[in-house]
Amino acid sequence: MKDEPKTNGPEDGCAICGEEEILRFYSDLLRGEMKTPSGQEAGLGDRLKAAEALLKRRTAGQQEQESLRRLDELLEEVRRAAD
């Protein structure tokens, strides 16, 4: 019998974490709010990895916004040239 995938978040009942849930997980881990199964706080190494992951996501988002801004500028130039 095959196990059914477990949901990771009650928000949508989906087996795959959404962006908000992932960010919340990394943030909780970074703040030391997550505990190991034995009840200890997450170690410094795990917290640093969470910080790196959050920074990568933020940097990627900023780069995406800059790329979209540049595309908007190019589209505007093309429209002006077509007129």
Domains in the chain: boundaries: 19-82
Distance of alpha carbon 18 from alpha carbon 24, whole angstroms: 10
Question: Is 40 in a helix, a strand, or coil?
Answer: coil
Would you call 60 exposed, middle or buried from its count of C-beta atoms within 10 A (0-12, 13-18, 19+)? Answer: exposed
pLDDT at 58: 87
Mean pLDDT of 17-42: 88
Mean pLDDT of 8-21: 72
Of residues 53, 51, 35, the one with CA closest to residue 43: 35
pLDDT single digits (tens) 46-57: 889 999 999 998
User: What global pTM score does this model have?
Assistant: 0.57
